[in-house]
Amino acid sequence: MISPLLCSSNAILLVLTGIFQQYWVHQVRKVRLQGYYDFSQKLKRIARLPFATIACGTALMLLIMVWQPLLQILSVSLLLRIAIVVEVTCAGCFMGLYLWHIHKYNSLNGQPDILRSLYSALQPSNTLEDRRYHDARLSDQQMALLQYQRENIHYLSEEVLRLQECLSKYQRTAGTTPQVDLAHLLATRDQELRALTAEMNQVHSELQHARGLIDEKDSELQRIRLSNNQYVEENDRLRAILGEWSARAAKLERALEAERVSNVELRKNIAKFRGHLYKEQEA
């Protein structure tokens, strides 16, 4: 008999890993919006592994129960315990790996990595500018950068509005010219907002350009495939002609060999006839 505790624990593990997966996927989206694209890609692959492991373990347990009459090596209860121990161990390892990455993420002090991987309007272009359209993940990275810039623009817009409200309150209360540092801070925020808007427009244009290049490469690939199909058909036709000529050459070789044999026989007959004629003349 199968222990109800074993089945209940497996169901509880399935529910818990499903809840953790939904929470982790939400956290991965937040990390992506913060600009850590490469890090979010790592977490995206790990976040779904614990639930997938428990699901595969559940499927394995069902298979063990279905094929129970054919399993004679070990008892079914022992096999189920081994399966649940293996799946719990694997899921725990994946969860530990996820938590280790989170700890590493919390200790980061640098800028978001999405700003280092793409060309920025705030920074001079480097020597790899001509290669930026050859990366297969470029469109995805640019989309992540656009989302990151939108979040920054939204934050800076709220900050500008807050500073404007503070400035208006200060003007109403003081009735004099605002302090220099507040005006300077407001101007700095406004300049950053304009720079980020320009950068987002630049990245958007690059994304459009990259999509155009991808469409052009696709059309070129279609032309190459069409030419390749034509070459294949021509090659098949030439092979058929070559086979036909080979068959004809084989027939001619057989006919030539038969002609040679007949010539040899004819020469032998002529030699015999001459010998016989010579003997008759001597007689």
* Separation between Cα atoms, residue 25 and residue 11, nearest integer Å: 21
Q: Please answer whether residues 34 and 57 qualify as being in contact, where contact means their C-beta atoms are separated by less than 8 angstroms.
A: no
Question: What tokens does 27 get?
Answer: 């956290």
Write phi, then psi, for 111 (nearest 5 degrees).
-75, 160
Q: What is the pLDDT of residue 152?
A: 67
Report how far apart the first and last C-alpha atoms of the chain are (Å, whole number).
118
Question: What tokens does 242 get?
Answer: 């070559």
DSSP 77-106: HHHHHHHHHHHHHHHHHHHHHHHHHHHHHH
The 10 Å Cβ neighbour count of residue 55 is: 14
Task: Give the list of residues 6+ apart from residue 42 with CB closer than 8 angstroms, or none.
Answer: 101
The 10 Å Cβ neighbour count of residue 195 is: 14
Q: What is the pLDDT of residue 112?
A: 60
| CB under 8 A, 24+ apart: contacts of 170-174 | none
* Separation between Cα atoms, residue 243 and residue 241, nearest integer Å: 5
Q: Where are the domains of the chain?
A: 4-110, 129-219
Q: What is the pLDDT of residue 225?
A: 92
Tens digit of each residue's pLDDT, the chain (283 residues): 456 777 788 888 888 888 888 888 888 877 776 667 677 777 888 888 888 888 888 888 888 777 776 666 767 778 888 888 888 899 889 889 888 888 877 776 656 655 555 444 444 444 434 444 444 444 555 565 566 666 667 667 777 777 777 777 776 665 554 455 667 777 888 888 888 888 888 888 888 888 888 889 989 999 999 999 999 999 999 999 999 998 898 899 998 998 988 888 898 888 888 888 887 777 6
Q: Please return the burial class of 86, using the count of CB atoms within 10 Å of its CB with bins 0-12, 13-18 and 19+.
A: middle
The 10 Å Cβ neighbour count of residue 210 is: 17
Q: What is the pLDDT of residue 109?
A: 61
The position carrying tokens 């209860």 is: 77
* Separation between Cα atoms, residue 140 and residue 159, nearest integer Å: 29
Question: What tokens does 140 get?
Answer: 């995805």
Question: What tokens does 232 get?
Answer: 């294949």
